[in-house]
Amino acid sequence: MNYNPYNILFIKTSNYNIKPINSEEAYKVRHPVLREGKPIESCVFDGDDFETTIHLGLYYKTKLVGVCSFLKNNHDAISETAQYQLRGMAVLEKYQGKGLGNSILDYGENLLKKKDSQIIWCNAREVAVYFYQKCGYSIIGQPFNIKYIGMHYIMQKKILK
């Protein structure tokens, strides 16, 4: 069983709700959490508005408190053909550490399984590596530096056996 004490059952039986959103909604959480103090344009990722891109929002009542995005993008170091890249994983500070990041990720993984995606990968910030490990992701390859943001690790999770 996946680690996830607050999984979809928790979401269904609480004031929390996960649903697809558009890119502009996603910026509302990306901005304060991942690009604080930077212009809003810095929140825009290539491919944000592609038809294949999925943005998910996690709401507490009517307030958007967590987001993540899945972009159809293959990594050279990964052999599976049906890949999605996870980007913009963010939960508002006040809501962190409650299992919400894990829940929204879990929800996205189930959605992508239904689309026959085989693997999800991401460039994880060093501070988030433990979070991704807890969610079943593992490091591949060598860490690398992204200017102004810091060290990153490529992490992957096979979702289709």
Ligand X SMILES: CC(C)(COP(=O)(O)OP(=O)(O)OC[C@H]1O[C@@H](n2cnc3c(N)ncnc32)[C@H](O)[C@@H]1OP(=O)(O)O)[C@@H](O)C(=O)NCCC(=O)NCCS
Number of chain positions touching ligand X (CB under 6 A): 19
DSSP run (H or E) holding 146: strand 138-146
Comparing C-alpha atoms, which of 88, 90, 50, 89 is closest to residue 72? 50
Q: Does 117 bind ligand X (CB under 6 A)?
A: no
| DSSP class of 98 | S
In the region spanning residues 34 to 73, those forming contacts with ligand X, defined by CB under 6 A, are: 34
Burial class (CB in 10 A: 0-12, 13-18, 19+), 54: middle
Q: Does 21 bind ligand X (CB under 6 A)?
A: no
When the beta carbons of 79 and 140 are compared against ligand X, the nearer one is: 140
Among 43, 78, 89, 120, binds ligand X (CB under 6 A): 89
Q: Are 72 and 60 in contact (CB under 8 A)?
A: no
Q: CB under 6 A: which stretch of 17-25, 47-55, 129-137, 138-146 binds ligand X?
A: 129-137
Q: What are phi and psi of 123, to 5 degrees?
A: -95, 105
Among 26, 56, 91, 159, binds ligand X (CB under 6 A): 91
Taking the complex as a whole, the smallest distance from the CB of residue 132 to ligand X amounts, in Å, to 8
Both ends of the chain: CA-CA distance in Å?
14
From 31, 72, 98, 113, residue interacting with ligand X (rule: CB under 6 A): 98
Where on the chain is the footprint of ligand X (CB under 6 A)?
A: 33-34, 89-91, 96-102, 124-125, 127-128, 130-131, 134
